[in-house]
Structure 1
């Protein structure tokens, strides 16, 4: 290889190494989470789409492992009017939630209720195309010891108001 071609090639390689990396573009709303490999940051999760929640629901279900839930919930225009939820987490214990122990602090993009006892316990309600979910966070005080780690959200069918199919 001639000296001038080798020099040009070396200059091009050095220039390529000095070119700064461009920042990763911000996540597009609705885009799936993408990772380039282990330990690398992921794009932000897709936000819950805002939906007007209307539900007169009652879900009673017992699973083979002893998990049992009874939930009654009525929501009109994203305002919770009735909520009583009892969870039997198999042999691990129970959790109990009653609307009288909460006040609603958010209506959109999801419904959120905060415990009136000053704890960090909150209940959240959101709707996706297949179901309406009632979930909790930081609510150990509403459960007997050992139950909180084994309790799951309740899923309602938005059409019938009964328990949503989970399979």
Structure 2
């Protein structure tokens, strides 16, 4: 065989090989390239509500009366007598416009704490509490969990009463 024949044979073999069916071998796809390291953005820690300033223990001595009607119809009539943090008298009624009222009388409560604030617990077994504390501008008489002492549906609008520690009258709200 000469070189020309040899080249022609090789060409024929290659052409025939191109026409032949070869089994297709499925190739496993190559894995995707690794992802770059994730950038973790940490959320800032949840903001905590500013803590209320602790109530400074204070000896409360006040004979107070607050009777007033606001422009929005809110009224209050409160009398309180406190001597050396002992509640001697308390009668408080408040009205939320014409929708209803809440009423608190000392005879329905017993005093359970005198410092850092005065606390009165309802004797009916409910969780109702009356709280009294003093800051430099006012003496506050507030209630907590006392829905039973109010007309249904108004409790969320029943605000504390504020007394002026200098004269025992209603404190100005500013």
Coarse TM-score class (shorter-chain normalised): 0.7 to 0.9
Shift of 1:39: 2.3
Gaps of 5+ in 1: 1-36
Aligned CA-pair RMSD: 1.4
Partner of 2:15 in structure 1?
Answer: none
Partner of 2:105 in structure 1?
Answer: 98
Aligned to 2:84, which of 74, 77, 80? Answer: 77
Partner of 1:127 in structure 2?
Answer: 134
Give the secondary structure class of the aligned counterpart of 2:121.
strand
Gaps of 5+ in 2: 1-43
Partner of 2:169 in structure 1?
Answer: 162
Paired residues for 1:1-167 under 5 Å? 39-42=46-49, 44-167=51-174
- TM-score w.r.t. length of structure 2: 0.72
Distance 1:89 1:146 in 2: 10
Shift of 1:44: 3.7
For residues 97-140 of structure 1, the C-alpha deviation after alignment (integer angstroms, 9 at most, x for no partner) is 00000000000000000000000000000000000000000000
